[in-house]
């Protein structure tokens, strides 16, 4: 396999699709099973790889990489049979006695391009949906998490035949070469900037795409929020994975009326985040420099603020910002720094939102129904989670995806199956009857009859 060109590898996958190597229910279940067993047996190696890449704690690797993937497999093992079943639909009266159904047709050969920050989760969860959808798949993990990319390659190539699933490692140059081939769907996770390149490349070949991108997800507090519980959840989600989470609460907007309580609780809560072994480091020095540069601005550091370029460690940090023009509002932070703005009036929430509209997630901490509804109605976002952060991704029955600059399309559970299949409409006509009125000659009598018939049908 190593000696083959990228195009030759893609050809093998396309042939695998034509030869229906992952087509029947039995084949799909078998492949899901293979993946499940490999993950369980290689759990330790996966944890070690992520530890090497950015000091990710074993607990977090289990919680956010291994468990969600196993959970997704479990979902599909239980449901793929149902998803594959053609769905009968009601037929309009004027077409009776014909019948109609929807058929989930595999898309073909799918390309999945993963990001480094959840290197197992973000490659294997879309892979599971693609397998369940009956496709053959080319996986391109991110080169930035070197050890994780290597373990994905090792696991996948040891269990799957090359005409069902393959992994190609490499950077943007390799990805560009991969994109010269025609795929039947491209599923990309990563930055908005590269997302635009992928979209352009896909457009040249009219390939459908899913773009899972990033952005600044706000955490908006109301005075009614249970502050202690909310802050505990907020900080956990912010500092998970060293803050390198696409749906991390990027910044918090908190009513000024509760400022002193908010800061006092944060001061207590952040004491649980001092153990360096429980904090991931920043993935590389380039990102480290980018994040620490954001700290050169007009704001007040309330906790943390320590960093070390050599070890790429940034301590969990909480800073107060004074307006939406802060350097910390200029881009997605993607690191363990939480800017908090204390607002006087709800109109200020809008100022912050308008600077970074359509976030991937929007978090609301509130026990006030009207406030919560107002925020949901006025501020469009990929998804909403009330009184918690990040955990909505674990809800297999909720589609996950962004809008605007945070991407488009979605996945997880049933949504993945839809993404990785084409809904083929099938209508069946009968032969035992064939009313003559639609055929030529088009007489006035026929037109009048048609009008009367339609008026009658529309009464029902
Ligand atoms: P990254 O650098 O790992 O890039 C993502 C992928 O794009 C990699 O596989 C990489 O090889 C490829 N790539 C890089 N340059 C390319 C080019 N010029 N042409 C083609 N392919 C190229 O990851 P990243 O972009 O640093 O990821 C971080 C961003 O991703 C953040 O904005 C984050 O919010 C977002 N993200 C989104 C989700 C989501 O589910 N929506 C999940 C994780 C990360």
Interval 177-213: pLDDT, tens: 999 999 999 999 999 999 999 999 999 999 999 999 9
DSSP 8-class letter at 400: B
Ligand 1 centroid to Cα of residue 218, in Å, is 21
Ligand 1 centroid to Cα of residue 208, in Å, is 18
Q: Are 214 and 202 in contact (CB under 8 A)?
A: no
Q: What is the mean pLDDT of residues 361-389?
A: 98
**Closest alpha carbon to 43 in 63, 25, 28:** 63
Instruction: State which ligand 1 atom lies nearest to the alpha carbon of 141.
Output: 9
Q: What is the mean pLDDT of residues 76-105?
A: 96
Protein residue whose Cα sits closest to atom 3 of ligand 1: 115
Q: What is the mean pLDDT of residues 3-26?
A: 97
Kindly report the length of the chain. Answer: 460
Domains in the chain: boundaries: 6-213+410-422, 217-396
Instruction: State which ligand 1 atom lies nearest to the alpha carbon of 402.
Output: 41
Q: Are 86 and 102 in contact (CB under 8 A)?
A: yes
> According to the model, what pLDDT value does residue 460 have?
80
DSSP 8-class letter at 65: I
Any idea which architecture 217-396 has in CATH? 3-Layer(aba) Sandwich (3.40)
Instruction: State which ligand 1 atom lies nearest to the alpha carbon of 193.
Output: 25
Instruction: State which ligand 1 atom lies nearest to the alpha carbon of 406.
Output: 41
Ligand 1 centroid to Cα of residue 214, in Å, is 9
Structure tokens at 109: 């050969």
Please check whether the two domains, 6-213+410-422 and 217-396, share a CATH topology: no
| pLDDT category of residue 160 using cuts at 50, 70 and 90 | very high
Q: What is the mean pLDDT of residues 276-285?
A: 96
Protein residue whose Cα sits closest to atom 20 of ligand 1: 172
Protein residue whose Cα sits closest to atom 13 of ligand 1: 172
Ligand 1 centroid to Cα of residue 402, in Å, is 14
| pLDDT category of residue 380 using cuts at 50, 70 and 90 | very high
At the fourth CATH level, which superfamily is domain 6-213+410-422? Aldehyde Dehydrogenase; Chain A, domain 1 (3.40.605.10)
C-beta atoms surrounding 391 within 10 Å? 12
Q: Which residue has the higher pLDDT, 157 or 2?
A: 157
Our measurement of the distance from residue 395's CA atom to the centroid of its chain's CA atoms, rounded to an integer in Å, reads 12
Protein residue whose Cα sits closest to atom 30 of ligand 1: 190
3-class SS of residue 42: coil
Our measurement of the distance from residue 363's CA atom to the centroid of its chain's CA atoms, rounded to an integer in Å, reads 16
Protein residue whose Cα sits closest to atom 9 of ligand 1: 142
DSSP 8-class letter at 106: E
Ligand 1 centroid to Cα of residue 113, in Å, is 8
> According to the model, what pLDDT value does residue 427 have?
98
Give the angle subtended at the CA of 300 by the CAs of 303 and 243, to the nearest 5°.
50
Ligand 1 centroid to Cα of residue 269, in Å, is 32
Question: Alpha helix locations (H) across 162-298?
Answer: 172-178, 192-204, 227-239, 259-269, 285-293
Rounded to whole angstroms, how far apart are CA atoms 166 and 44?
23
Q: Is the pLDDT of residue 297 over 90?
A: no
Q: Which residues line ligand 1 (CB under 6 A)?
A: 113-117, 122, 140, 142-144, 171-172, 175-176, 189-191, 194, 197, 212-214, 246, 332, 334, 360, 402, 407
Q: What is the mean pLDDT of residues 368-374?
A: 98
> According to the model, what pLDDT value does residue 238 have?
98
Q: Is the pLDDT of residue 437 over 90?
A: no
3-state secondary structure 27-61: HHHHHHHHHHHHHHHCHHHHHHHHHHHHCCCHHHH
Ligand 1 centroid to Cα of residue 115, in Å, is 5
Q: Which of 6, 54, 115 to mutate to test the pocket of ligand 1 (most atoms within 8 A of CB)?
A: 115
Rounded to whole angstroms, how far apart are CA atoms 386 and 59?
25
Rounded to whole angstroms, how far apart are CA atoms 117 and 94?
54
Q: pLDDT for 35-63, tens place per residue?
A: 999 999 999 999 999 999 999 999 999 99
Q: pLDDT for 325-348, tens place per residue?
A: 999 999 999 999 999 999 999 999
Instruction: State which ligand 1 atom lies nearest to the alpha carbon of 360.
Output: 41
Q: Catalogue the active-site residues.
A: 212, 246
> According to the model, what pLDDT value does residue 327 have?
96
Q: Which of 138, 152, 190, 291 to mutate to test the pocket of ligand 1 (most atoms within 8 A of CB)?
A: 190
Average pLDDT, the chain: 97
> According to the model, what pLDDT value does residue 1 have?
73
Protein residue whose Cα sits closest to atom 19 of ligand 1: 172
Instruction: State which ligand 1 atom lies nearest to the alpha carbon of 116.
Output: 3
> According to the model, what pLDDT value does residue 259 have?
98
Rounded to whole angstroms, how far apart are CA atoms 429 and 434?
10
Instruction: State which ligand 1 atom lies nearest to the alpha carbon of 192.
Output: 32
Phi, psi of 253 (to 5 degrees): -115, 120
Q: Is the pLDDT of residue 34 over 90?
A: yes
> According to the model, what pLDDT value does residue 367 have?
98
Residue where the block lists tokens 């969860």: 125
Q: Is the pLDDT of residue 295 over 80?
A: yes
Please measure the distance between the N-terminal and C-terminal CA atoms of the chain and give it in whole angstroms. 62
Q: Which of 68, 194, 201 to mutate to test the pocket of ligand 1 (most atoms within 8 A of CB)?
A: 194
Protein residue whose Cα sits closest to atom 40 of ligand 1: 212
Ligand 1 centroid to Cα of residue 352, in Å, is 25
Q: pLDDT for 252-264, tens place per residue?
A: 999 999 999 999 9
3-class SS of residue 365: strand
Q: Are 141 and 117 in contact (CB under 8 A)?
A: no
Ligand 1 centroid to Cα of residue 196, in Å, is 11
Q: Is the pLDDT of residue 80 over 80?
A: yes
């Amino acid at each position: 396999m190593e000696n083959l060109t990228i195009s030759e590898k893609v050809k093998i996958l396309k042939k695998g699709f034509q030869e229906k190597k992952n087509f029947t229910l039995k084949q799909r279940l078998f492949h899901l099973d293979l993946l499940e067993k490999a993950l369980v047996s290689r759990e330790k190696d996966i944890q070690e790889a992520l530890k090497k890449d950015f000091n990710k704690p074993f607990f977090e690797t289990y919680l956010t990489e291994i468990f969600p993937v196993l959970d997704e497999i479990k979902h599909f093992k239980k449901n793929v049979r149902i998803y594959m079943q053609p769905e009968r639909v009601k037929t309009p009266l004027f077409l009776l006695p014909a019948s109609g159904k929807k058929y989930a047709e595999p898309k073909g050969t799918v390309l999945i391009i993963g990001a480094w920050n959840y290197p197992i989760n973000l490659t294997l969860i879309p892979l599971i949906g693609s397998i369940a959808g009956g496709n053959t798949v080319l996986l391109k993990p991110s080169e930035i998490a070197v050890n994780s990319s290597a373990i994905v390659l090792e696991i996948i190539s040891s269990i799957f035949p090359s005409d069902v699933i393959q992994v190609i490692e490499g950077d943007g140059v390799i990805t560009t070469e991969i994109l010269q081939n025609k795929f039947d769907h491209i599923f990309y996770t990563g930055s908005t900037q590269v997302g635009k390149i992928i979209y352009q490349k896909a457009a040249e070949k009219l390939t459908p795409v899913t773009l899972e991108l990033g952005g600044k997800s706000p955490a908006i507090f109301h005075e009614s929020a249970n502050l202690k519980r909310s802050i505990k959840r907020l900080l956990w989600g912010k500092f998970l994975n060293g803050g390198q989470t696409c749906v991390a609460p990027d910044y918090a907007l908190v009513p000024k009326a509760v400022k002193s309580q908010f800061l006092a609780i944060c001061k207590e809560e952040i004491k649980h985040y001092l153990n360096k072994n429980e904090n991931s480091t920043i993935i590389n020095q380039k990102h480290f420099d980018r994040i620490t540069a954001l700290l050169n601005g007009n704001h007040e550091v309330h906790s943390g603020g320590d960093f070390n370029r050599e070890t790429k460690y940034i301590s969990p940090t909480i800073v107060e910002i004074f307006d939406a023009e802060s350097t910390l509002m200029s881009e997605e932070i993607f690191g363990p720094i939480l800017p908090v703005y204390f607002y006087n009036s709800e109109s200020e929430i809008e100022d912050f939102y308008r600077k970074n509209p359509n976030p991937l997630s929007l978090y609301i901490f509130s026990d006030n129904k009207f406030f919560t509804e107002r925020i949901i109605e006025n501020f469009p976002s990929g998804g909403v989670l009330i009184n918690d952060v990040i955990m909505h991704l674990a809800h297999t029955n909720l589609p996950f995806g962004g809008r605007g600059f945070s991407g488009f399309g979605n996945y997880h559970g049933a949504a993945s199956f839809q993404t990785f299949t084409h809904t083929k409409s099938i209508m069946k006509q009968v032969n035992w009857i064939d009313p003559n009125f639609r055929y030529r000659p088009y007489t006035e009598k026929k037109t009048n009859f048609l009008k009367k018939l339609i008026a009658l049908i529309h009464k029902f």
